[in-house]
């Protein structure tokens, strides 16, 4: 089977770079381009981090581009944000800059050009705030109908948020962009890989010890950034394991069996109140498939449950062993 061609949109953090390493080394994925957005760090620093990975992986042939540095609209205050990724996005591990420059083509133009050249072929994977995706949709709303698929890391369906009581980081950083991305006319339900799945698919001591052995180029690169990432993340972990959010999202492109999903109505709260930035998932829609609604009322019920919402494939759980097995392969076991 041919590898799945992917445009990766990233905000340059530790788990972003772990995801990128997976994409560069997996025979099931072809990274055709990378676009950078502000989130964990600013967009230019995200591009510097991407360049470091590409250089270390010997993949300077892959174009990468700088995108949006500001959100499309306001978002909730994020108090007491832990420096999970360090000031440079890579755990302040001292990894030197690579002599590799981003393309002069802006990220939005790169996305649109590549999708125009390969309609129906490319999967767009967004693992940072959705600002670049929303800007591309604003420029060409037909983009939604011309990608093969959209997979995002973001949101939470049943779990609380990780930066406010109700909102996950990537959505909270730009709720306007998230809302526009959710509402676009995607021909098939996109996949939302949120905290319900990523907080199950975690790295444990076995994975972290393996990384420290530096058996592969990916492990050698990620060992120090993951040490900082784990030290901070484990402060809020009950069992010492930590999520690697973005890696799960990209893995799921090649291995959808890693996710437990349901197609459910979704929208994003942009109202500025207590639930600002929340991904609102309407679980009442489960009754549509349960047989509990009389046939003559199914249409009315569907209209009621999906009013103002949009069908997304929501990840509600993950295959932890499968996720860890692929991490272990990446890091040399």
- Rounded Cα distance between 181 and 18, Å, is 24
- Rounded mean pLDDT of 296-314? 79
Does residue 118 have a pLDDT over 70? yes
- Rounded Cα distance between 40 and 153, Å, is 13
User: Known catalytic residue: 310?
Assistant: no
Catalytic residue (choose from 85, 199, 230, 245):
245
- Centroid of chain to Cα 150: 10
Kindly list the distances between the CA atom of residue 317 and the CA atoms of 159, 253, 264, 273, 310, in Å, as whole numbers in the listed order: 11, 15, 14, 28, 20
- Rounded mean pLDDT of 109-127? 98
State residue 236's pLDDT score: 63
pLDDT band at residue 296, thresholds of 50, 70 and 90? low
Q: What is the DSSP letter of 9?
A: E
Does residue 216 have a pLDDT over 80? yes
Residue with tokens 């996720």, as numbered in its chain:
323
Region of poorest pLDDT, from 43-47, 49-53, 112-116, 199-203: 199-203
Q: What is the DSSP letter of 283?
A: G
Does residue 5 have a pLDDT over 90? yes
The predicted-structure confidence for 240-283, as pLDDT tens digits, reads as follows: 789 999 999 999 999 999 999 999 999 999 999 999 999 999 99
State residue 199's pLDDT score: 95
Q: How many CB atoms lie within 10 A of CB 138?
A: 14
Q: Please answer whether residues 248 and 201 qualify as being in contact, where contact means their C-beta atoms are separated by less than 8 angstroms.
A: yes
- Centroid of chain to Cα 289: 28
The predicted-structure confidence for 45-91, as pLDDT tens digits, reads as follows: 999 999 999 999 999 999 999 999 999 999 999 876 667 898 999 99
Query: Torsion over CA of 324, 242, 24 and 134, rounded to 10 degrees?
Result: 130
Does residue 233 have a pLDDT over 80? no
State residue 317's pLDDT score: 97
Count Cβ neighbours within 10 Å for each residue of 40-59 and write b for 16 or more, e otherwise: bbbbebbbbbbbbbbbbbeb
- Centroid of chain to Cα 255: 15
Global pTM reads 0.95
The predicted-structure confidence for 170-199, as pLDDT tens digits, reads as follows: 999 999 999 999 999 999 999 999 999 999
């Amino acid at each position: 089977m041919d590898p799945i061609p992917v445009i990766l949109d990233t905000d340059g953090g530790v788990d972003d770079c772990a995801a990128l390493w997976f994409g560069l080394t997996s025979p099931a994925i072809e990274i055709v381009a990378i676009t950078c957005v502000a989130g964990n760090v600013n967009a230019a620093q995200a591009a510097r981090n991407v360049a470091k990975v590409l250089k270390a992986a010997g993949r300077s042939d892959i174009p990468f581009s700088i995108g949006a540095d500001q959100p499309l609209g306001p978002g909730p205050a994020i108090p007491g944000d832990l420096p999970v990724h360090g000031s440079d996005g890579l755990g302040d591990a001292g990894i030197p800059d690579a002599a590799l420059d981003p393309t002069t083509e802006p990220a939005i133009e790169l996305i649109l050009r590549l999708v125009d050249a390969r309609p129906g072929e490319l999967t767009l994977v967004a693992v940072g705030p959705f600002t670049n995706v929303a800007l591309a949709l604003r420029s060409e709303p037909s983009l939604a109908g011309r990608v093969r698929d959209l997979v995002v890391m973001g949101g939470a369906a049943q779990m609380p948020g990780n930066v406010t009581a109700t909102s996950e980081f990537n959505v909270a950083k730009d709720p306007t962009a998230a809302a526009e991305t959710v509402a676009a006319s995607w021909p098939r339900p996109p996949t939302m890989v949120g905290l319900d799945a990523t907080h199950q698919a975690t790295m444990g001591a076995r994975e972290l010890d393996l990384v420290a052995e530096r058996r592969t180029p990916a492990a050698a690169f990620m060992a120090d950034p993951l040490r900082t990432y784990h030290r901070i993340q484990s402060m809020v972990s009950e069992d010492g394991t930590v999520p690697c959010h973005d890696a799960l999202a990209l893995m799921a492109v090649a291995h959808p069996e890693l996710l437990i999903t349901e197609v459910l109505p979704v929208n994003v709260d942009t109202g500025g109140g207590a639930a600002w930035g929340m991904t609102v998932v309407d679980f009442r829609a489960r009754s549509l498939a349960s047989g509990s609604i009389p046939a003559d009322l199914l249409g009315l019920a569907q209209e009621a449950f999906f009013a103002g919402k949009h069908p997304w494939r929501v990840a509600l759980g993950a295959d932890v062993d499968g996720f860890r097995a692929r991490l272990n392969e990446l890091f040399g076991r």
